[in-house]
Structure 1
């Protein structure tokens, strides 16, 4: 999934997650978007002669949902469109650096080439420090394995929309959730994008400085010289030899002598014909030490940027995506296999279990309900249906016991992944309105029990499945119940 598709998918995820009451997108809207997206994604996959993938389906579904919202609430459409501020900044920054490079040597006398030019020397020194830092950074990270990557404040936010009007409350909550998740997931991509821009800007700054030396040399004759309070001619000669040695060795430019350097010390008159030599030396040094290395680093960052933008690191194993993609691929769970323990499920509650299956695995998910296992008896050795997720069903009125309920879960775990569903409907009906506190205590006891067994657990209400929708949707969330 590329960056643009991932952005739409994450935005729709944030909208649907924030709209828990289904006030903006009803269940029918969501089911219609899923059905349409499956058909469109299947057609696209057939045209490309490729298998249908969750990424393609989710992208098509996100487009359907955003189009429906834009049609129903036109005022919100401006919030869904990405703003190209980040890309514009990546283009403007190098050109601004080029302009600064053209102007950098005009800080001094425009008719003079200063051999100890502070802007040019600082430019070379700064780039050498940057190269040293890049070489030492992997060593420093290895020495501090617990150190976190520094954040890039504000840069990823440039991809967020900035309309003038305030969004409605439901959209404001969704955009806040989207912004936080996008900031976290896009950090490597934005870092590569920033590195590419900064390396390119550094190269353009040096290029502007070198070009300015040549352009002004066409229209004016440079006066070449140097002056210093603390350095004598021999020290300046050694410094300039060190700086210009790469250019003289690699490009075979003519060198200079100590006497030549001594003759250029102000206030002595400098030979007019010597300006071209020093312009060539400075320009060649900037080319070798700044422009070419920075362009190479920018190319590496651009390559990483393209790779991350083409394969955005979006975890499609999250419960939200797993429910939407249920049954889409052969390895996705398409059926909820319910194994009740000491609990008989009547026909009136069977439909509620089907809603639980849809909430957990998606609207296409099926339901297989086994006969109840008697208290104290081991579960029947029945092979699970193909593509099924096993769910142990317990009543909240029961107190979890390791030798009974625990053994039942252990036996089911041997056959594959298991989740625990604890129905509170009968217990709440028996306790009445005053029993909510006791029910909460019993639910916490079941959570602790399932956490010790490393089994994901959710409290359900088969009399009113919507009452516990949040618990169902969080059932397979990473880290829940110590899974």
Structure 2
């Protein structure tokens, strides 16, 4: 699904949730999309066409919303990126990398700060690349994204003329889109920042030669604590690779002693400008351009194939247009199901996730056995029916019992282990759902405070799972029908 299609799907979803669409309009959009695409179109393509058709009809019926609907569906603009890049290049060209005077202190050049900054950033990027990445936003980051989305919605031009449902829909869409496209936006941001850093360093190199053409710079050094041999070691570490590559050997300790500025020494700065230009090119411009290119490639890939938002309501829509049953592997965690509860799993999940599920209850995973997941998952997925791009991806439902007290060290750990394992699974990648069975806990409750205690335990589970970026579904396995 492309970036534009994903934005349209999320905006359509927000408009439906805010009751801007009636059931008849939504049904019309689905039928019209199916007629245009044909019966063999992939479900994701159908969902995107349905969203575009529905939003076009909404724009016709409510002209006041047309500018906002067009803006959120339009491709991203590059004006901000162009302004950032132009500013970085201009700052590099106008900056004075050699210093304010025509005497260049080799140990105190402003270029030292530019070089150190780029080396630190490249090192941090390398360290970050070696660290495992979380597949979802944390609870605090998710709340921050929601607040940013609400702020953007409040400052949309023409908002005051919209009806209340339209304002709610745009606020919900802004938060959903920022949350769903975080990897895409992060890749674009990294691309712009790395490109800006490369232009800043490149502009500084051009400025070195431009000033060297019209001014006579003398290079030397001064230090209270360092002696010529120590200065030579420092310069060898900073400029040694570039000096060897350019065939400009660094002066020895005797020659460096004659370059003390305090003693009236110094030499023409041209060789040092060449060394610094090549050093900046190797340590700043080149790695930043490579990082910018890698981030640009990542952003292009995500923009062309952005994963479908993993939400139960969208999945129900996809399932409704697919004739093939959707395979579901149900993994109870620290919870043994008797025959009656196993028989109730299918109807309960159908009530929550929609019809057309082919459920297979797996052996219970014992408390503390999260380490077994890497060995357990491949065998489970191998038993699931094969699916292609025209069918929904299989589901893995992690089943908890409300009778258990939610604990981050155990229940949270198994959720995080599954998220990481599924992120590395081959396509079509199974999608994770987390269900909590309330039936056993409800049966234990007695007295007038039963509903209150049930609500408190449910809130505790919601707090844990939402903090992990997972929206839980609460079902009941005591009856053939589950409760959403």
Aligned to 1:312, what secondary structure does the other structure show? coil
Unaligned runs of 5+ in 1: 46-50, 334-386, 388-405, 422-446, 454-476
**Residue from 318, 343, 367 that aligns with 1:325:** 318
Q: How many residues align?
A: 350
* Offset, 1:110: 6.0
Residue 53 of structure 2: which of 57, 64, 76 is its match?
64
1:14 paired residue number: 14
The 3 A distance-change label for structure 1 pair 200 and 109 is: same
CA distance in 2, matches of 1:112, 1:197: 35
For the 8 Å contact 1:113–1:223, the answer to whether it is kept is yes
Deviates more, 1:6-15 or 1:235-244: 235-244
The CA deviation at 1:2 is 1.0
Q: What's the RMSD between the two structures over aligned residues?
A: 3.8
SS in structure 1 opposite 2:78?
helix
1:102 corresponds to which residue? Answer: 93
SS of corresponding position for 1:228 = coil
What residue number does 1:456 align with?
none
For residue 79 of structure 2, the aligned residue among 88, 96, 111 is: 88
* 1:452/1:418 CA distance change after superposition, 3 Å: farther
Q: Give 5+ residue unaligned stretches, structure 2.
A: 328-337, 354-436, 444-470, 478-484
Counterpart residue number, 2:164: 169
Change beyond 3 A, Cα 1:178–1:420: closer
Match of 1:137 in 2: 128
> Contact (CA 8 Å) 1:116, 1:226: kept in 2 or not?
yes
- The match for 1:264 among 229, 252, 259 is 259
The equivalent residue for 1:340 is none
The CA deviation at 1:294 is: 1.2
Aligned to 1:52: 41
Correspondence for 1:184: 179
Give the deviation of 1:14 after TM superposition: 0.7
State the Cα distance separating 1:420 from its structure 2 match.
8.9
Cα 1:218–1:113 change in 2 (3 A) is same
CA distance in 2, matches of 1:58, 1:223: 68
Counterpart-to-counterpart distance in 1, 2:216 and 2:231: 23
Q: Contact 1:156 / 1:190 at 8 angstroms: preserved in 2?
A: no
Aligned-residue offset at 1:417: 6.0
Q: 1:270 to 1:301 in 2, by over 3 A?
A: same
User: How do 1:430-469 residues align onto structure 2 when only pairs under 5 Å count?
Assistant: 448-449=438-439
Q: How far does residue 285 in structure 1 lie from its aligned partner after superposition? A: 0.4
Superposition TM-score, scaled by structure 2 size: 0.63
Q: Distance in 1 between matches of 2:22 and 2:304?
A: 32
Q: Which deviations, in whole Å up to 9, do the C-alpha atoms of 1:379-424 show, x marking residues without a partner?
A: xxxxxxxx9xxxxxxxxxxxxxxxxxx9766446589965499xxx
Structure scoring higher RCO (CA < 8 A, sep ≥ 6) equals 2
1:74 aligns with 2:67: no
Q: Quote the offset at 1:275 in angstroms.
A: 1.8
Aligned counterparts of 1:228 and 1:85: Cα–Cα separation in 2: 52
Match of 2:198 in 1: 203
SS in structure 1 opposite 2:269? helix
Deviations 1:21-77 (A, max 9, x none): xxx3222222211111112222xx9xxxxx401221111111111111111111111
Cα distance in 2 for partners of 1:481, 1:207 equals 60
Q: C-alpha distance in 2, partners of 1:2/1:304?
A: 14
Q: Secondary structure at the match of 1:325?
A: helix
Query: Does 1:30 pair with 2:26?
Result: yes
In 2: Cα distance, 1:207 partner to 1:105 partner: 13
How far has the Cα of 1:12 moved from its partner?
Answer: 0.7
Question: Relative to 1, partners in 2 of residues 1:327 and 1:217: Cα closer, same or farther, differing over 3 Å?
Answer: same
* Structure 2 CA distance for aligned equivalents of residues 31 and 149 of structure 1: 35
Matched, 1:39 2:35: yes
> 2: CA distance between counterparts of 1:90 and 1:151?
24
* Offset at residue 260 of structure 1 (A): 3.2
Q: Distance in 2 between matches of 1:151 and 1:414?
A: 34
Partner Cα separation in structure 2 for residue 35 and residue 287 of structure 1? 58
Q: 2:107: which partner in 1?
A: 116
Q: TM-score, normalised by structure 1?
A: 0.63
